[in-house]
Chain A
Amino acid sequence: MADHGQHSVPHAPAGEFDDMELVHPKTFLGKYVWSQDAKVIAIQYGVTAIAIGLVALVLSILMRLQLGFPNTFALIDPASYLQYVTMHGMIMVVYLLTALFLGAFGNYLIPLMCGARDMAFPYLNMLSYWFYLAAVLILMASFFVPGGATGAGWTLYPPQAISPGTPGIDGGILLMFASLSVFIAGFTMGGLNYVVTVLQARTRGMTLMRLPLTIWGIFMATVMALLAFPALLVAILMMLCDMLLGTSFFMPEMLNLGEQSGHEGGSPLLYQHLFWFFGHPEVYIVALPAFGIVSDILATHARKNIFGYRMMVWAIIIIGVLSFVVWAHHMFVSGMNPYFGFLFATTTLIIAVPTAIKVYNWVLTLWRGNIRMTVPMLFAIGFIFTFVNGGLSGLFLGNVTVDVPLADTYFVVGHFHMVMAVAPVLVVFGAIYHWYPKITGRMMDDTLGKVHFWVTFLGTYAIFYPMHFMGFAGVPRRYYGYGETAYIPDSIQTLNAFMSVAAIIVALVQLVFFYNLVRSYFHGRQAGPNPWQATTLEWQTEHTPPRHGNFGAELPVVYRWAYDYSVPGAKQDFLPQNMPPEAVEADDAAPRRSP
């Protein structure tokens, strides 16, 4: 990837938008700790999220050790196993993926890609990060209180979550509630910023229909998160009342060791409705930014415009809207009117239509493209495979009659890990390899990146693919051990051991990634401003890495969409968004078509 990025694009006259006043602190603390610069906040979000994600990764390895080699590790008892399950799920979904896609990538990319100097409300943005950090610390503290973290499962279903006998009933569950509430408050502050910045702070010429799909994905995911997180907050508040004040929102009449619990008439189903009203959109909150980022990586590294841009935008919007009317497909076995089941199965399967449109468009973008097999591209293509695999098993589970026997088996675990764990994480890696040169000014090592990709990609299949077969065999999920179970054959145990070894290998290869990340920061090849020859605005900044304020004296003016690669009739291989039509050199060799 030689340094072709040095084309000179004339900056157009200053925009009519008032330049915002930026806070320029002088001290180290002000610049890097209490920073109001979206890029620094993005790095803070990213580092915190990855750090907490590593904790969740270690928890998953502990679970795999128990499953693969039962009764070998004295450290893991049934209660702590349930705690690992719960914390792994909650951390990965909320504290890693949501925070990483929206907090880290959102903060870094929204102002740069929209051509803004910073977020609309920088102070609120800073506050958002500190709330997030507090939420993470509260969550971590729950490991150290008496009784440890909660073991209620990431769904925190009552009555179990707040009934005696569940691990973490003493303090862990309270800290979980506190942490989630702080997270939601912090996210609301950040989310307001992302939405308002996209709507208000775009530079001249950056119409909505010229936004890179990354921004569309992050924008729609933020809107969904802002509307869905209140459901979780309400549910938490009500459960807190049940637990501390003795109300009966969710808690039914219960006998515990012969004693009345004091609750009566509460409805656990009500909680499930509220939880999944948040929980299902949450899946797409994680997926939509990934969709957007993949679209941009594919177009850039295949040197082709994204196929069906408007369709892609509308697919993102329609997926977002539909994801609010499918929540009850998580409750097919909770007991519901069969007509509701039918309704929710239908809406669930309808989501496959816009999703399939996106997959076709990605593949058609690759079709006859000038594909450069860079590391980000490998991860993006790996995402398409994994997402399709995970999506197809979703069609099984979306049908009530198929879901009933498969519910609570490893089939479900395999499905959602493929579709919303491995697939988005592949995008996270791809995005880090893609934007690292802009963030640090240096390239990450290619060979190490490819080793990282192949082991991660194939390794995750080795872990999660067999889970589908275990699910068909009826192996239940969340169990610490199977004991003397007649219907589970011994071969399942062999398979479990194999999956555990694969999981350990995949976890270890992440060390290669971290080594690459740190080493490249000091010794990586100089990247130049635009190593991938990309069109979007973040690659056209005056400095790399961009300084506070992002652009030079004047904001860029946008003349075209983000996907002018290999434009017929143009001599240049790519036309940056801020390149005026006059600057495009005609390619005399090719017959000129209308631009």
Chain B
Amino acid sequence: MSMTVSLVFLAVLMAVFGGWLFSYSFRVRPWEAQAAGSRQVQGLGGGQVPPAATAPRVGLAVFLAVVTSLFALTISAYLMRQEMAHDWHPLAVPGVLWWNTVCLVLGSVALQLAWRAARHEQPTWLLRGLLAGGGLTIAFILGQALAWRQLQAAGHYLAANPANAFFFLLTALHAAHLLGGLFVWSRCLFRLQQGATPGAMRQSVELCALYWHFLLLVWAILFVLLLRT
């Protein structure tokens, strides 16, 4: 049953959250009041999130969970449609996708370096990292567009076969998420242009880098899926 993909994702998510809550909810007695000096009142124990989990990071994590749900469900639909119909003609994946993948990996690495530069207050490297990351991502998206053109030219039209339709759908969804990332990236670049210090940019660059790593992971999964089926 192809819906398993989505269900496994949900199960993992719920297990993490449930386990975290479970680990302490049975140790505490909610009905007991605590004195001012106690750990709970000091905001320490009792299921407080660790200090490393800042609000923007948790916000990003929750958003990534939403995006994961979106892709997991699309993959479920992909596998289910493949099982259900007899008209599935697997698609020969265009070779340019390998080059695109390299671009995305390098883009992710560049943003990781930019994050590092922001931590170490190196404005030049920060700018270089950001520019390289964004540029390589744009190259990736253009490469994807090229792959679409090649498929069209080879007669693999969108409506001709569900395999084609899913190829376009999955790559378009992924590219749309990268475009959203590029919007945030361009705002980072703008702020840097306006003279923001690397220290002030650290959080934004960090969130960008994490988002890019996540989308790289999604692409890796999609690519394997497209190659194998």
Contact = CB atoms under 8 A, between A and B. Distances in A.
Given A208-B46, A209-B30, A233-B70, A192 B59 contact: yes
Interface in A8-29: 12, 15-17
Contacts of B162: 247-249, 265-266
Interface in A450-487: none
A51 B81 CA distance: 40
Given A208-B46, A245-B159, A595-B33, A237 B169 contact: yes
B33 A230 contact: no
A15 B43 CA distance: 9
B30 A267 contact: no
Nearest to A281: B10
Interface string A187-203: 01001100110011101
A310 B73 contact: no
B152 to A, nearest CB: 13
A230 B69 CA distance: 6
B62 A192 contact: yes
A369 interface: no
Nearest to A562: B30
A557 B66 contact: no
Interface in B1-59: 1, 3, 6-7, 10, 13-14, 17-18, 21, 24-26, 28, 30-36, 40-43, 45-49, 53-55, 58-59
A120 interface: yes
A227, A249, A564, A580, most chain B CB atoms within 10 A: A227
B77 A234 contact: yes
Given A241-B165, A265-B162, A267-B81, A207 B55 contact: no
B49 A192 contact: no
B151 interface: no
B59 A196 contact: yes
A265 B55 contact: no
Contact of A241 (B1, B3, B17, B169): B169
Contact of A560 (B21, B34, B77): B34
A234 B6 CA distance: 13
A247 B158 contact: yes
Interface in A214-256: 223, 226-228, 230-231, 233-234, 237-238, 241, 245-249
Given A200-B58, A205-B42, A247-B162, 9 more contacts: A120-B55, A120-B59, A196-B55, A209-B30, A245-B158, A245-B159, A277-B6, A321-B10, A595-B32
12 contacts: A121-B59, A204-B41, A209-B30, A226-B62, A234-B74, A237-B173, A241-B165, A266-B85, A270-B77, A274-B77, A563-B31, A582-B35
Closest CB pairs A-B (n = 9)? A207-B46, A246-B159, A230-B70, A560-B33, A265-B87, A247-B165, A208-B47, A205-B41, A204-B43
